Structure 1
């Protein structure tokens, strides 16, 4: 077995041993704890200062960037599209996003799929331990992805034990996105290409929030 694969397998084995001796969590079950933590990570990703920059890189850069795929997956998760979120988390994790790999760990743990959860946790740890690659030069974005009241509401829902949820206006935008269909997989995966610069800037995005609804993305 190659050294990299052997190291990854050893990390997975260590995680399985750690689960057996782990201290109890503050929620009744491991699945509920994973769901809570995943909602919290999604809320933090969407509220991050560079979230709009990452999403803009995803839809406008010549090369798809993992940071944008990570943000887009969080948007999909917050609209209940978990299969689409998993697809984009996988893309981002395969491109070097440790956060996306950790989201996959929590996603599978929430579903009770412990083998997959251990695989992605080990991959997340491996990415965290690896030397950081230089990031591409980002497009300058002066405003957050979501208005402040929306970010607060998402975080409040998570802390109350509820799933993150986006406002209906933004859900409608996600609903209108084109989907990419795979003949081998009946699940429809939303594509971010409908979030063009025209939809993400100026009046069209601002209209989602109405008067005083918060700062739109520029």
Structure 2
């Protein structure tokens, strides 16, 4: 019985030969395709540089942050910032008159209540409204929200907007905090310093107050609406 020797494919002997086999022949892609690929690769490299900056050692640290630690820290800072905002004396008044004046500062205070009640979609909508109205604190909250979710590109975008919005007049800055934004080639790093003595309203009580709000639907999203009654409830919550 004759046995047949299996065919062996020729293995590339050099790196150049391997690359030649993998090369896409001319005509398969246009110059527009190649340019789009270069842009995509450049964007990915910039994102990797930014992630390296985010997870590198913070000021005064010797060991780098791990992505999980970064995610957790962003969530912690976001809730602490929101607690500071709703404790501001102006917060309830701005929410109460939001129906008549559509004040971006009122949108910021309302969004912070929604975040503490875990209404993230509605909170994101009103934070974007606040940031669009020139409120840098709204951009800080959006940066932290996207960072907490692991949405690096959106977090980077709002980090860049913080620097722009800080130049806007009539800022409502209810929490005394410092944002140090480092702009480098392809990277933006935000260091947020919050006061250590921020009071806290129980989040269950905030959720109970928010649960009764009227809800509108916009582009398929449920968007809670602020009300004067909520402003009165906020005053009671902060007073206790």
- TM-score bracket for the superposition, by shorter chain length: 0.5 to 0.7
Pick one of 67, 70, 82 that aligns with 1:30: 70
User: Does structure 2 retain, via aligned residues, the 8 Å contact 1:76–1:82?
Assistant: yes
Q: Deviation above 6 Å: which 4+ runs of structure 1?
A: 206-209
Pick one of 114, 132, 152 that aligns with 1:94: 132
Q: Describe the shift of the 1:19–1:56 C-alpha distance in structure 2 as closer, same or farther (beyond 3 A).
A: same
State which structure, 1 or 2, has the greater radius of gyration over its C-alpha atoms.
2
Which whole-Å deviations, capped at 9, do the CAs of 1:170-201 have from their partners, x for residues lacking one?
Answer: 5333222111112x43x311011xx23x6645
Q: Which runs of 5+ in 2 are unaligned?
A: 1-42, 59-63, 173-197
Cα RMSD (Å): 3.3
1:115, CA displacement in angstroms?
0.3
Q: Which runs of 5+ in 1 are unaligned?
A: 1-8, 137-150, 155-163
Q: Secondary structure at the match of 2:117?
A: coil
* Whole-Å separation in 2 of the counterparts to 1:25 and 1:35: 15
User: Does structure 2 retain, via aligned residues, the 8 Å contact 1:42–1:74?
Assistant: yes
1:171 matches 2:207: yes
1:135, CA displacement in angstroms?
6.6
* Whole-Å separation in 2 of the counterparts to 1:42 and 1:133: 22
1:65, CA displacement in angstroms?
0.9
Aligned residues between the structures: 165
* Whole-Å separation in 1 of the counterparts to 2:96 and 2:147: 30
Name the residue aligned to 2:115: 77
* Whole-Å separation in 2 of the counterparts to 1:93 and 1:119: 12
Q: Describe the shift of the 1:133–1:27 C-alpha distance in structure 2 as closer, same or farther (beyond 3 A).
A: same
1:123 matches 2:157: no
* Whole-Å separation in 2 of the counterparts to 1:114 and 1:56: 34
Pick one of 82, 91, 107 that aligns with 2:145: 107
TM (norm. structure 1) is: 0.63
Which whole-Å deviations, capped at 9, do the CAs of 1:34-91 have from their partners, x for residues lacking one?
Answer: 1111111111111122212221232342xx1110000000111111111111111011
Larger proportion of strand: 2
Q: Secondary structure at the match of 1:152?
A: coil
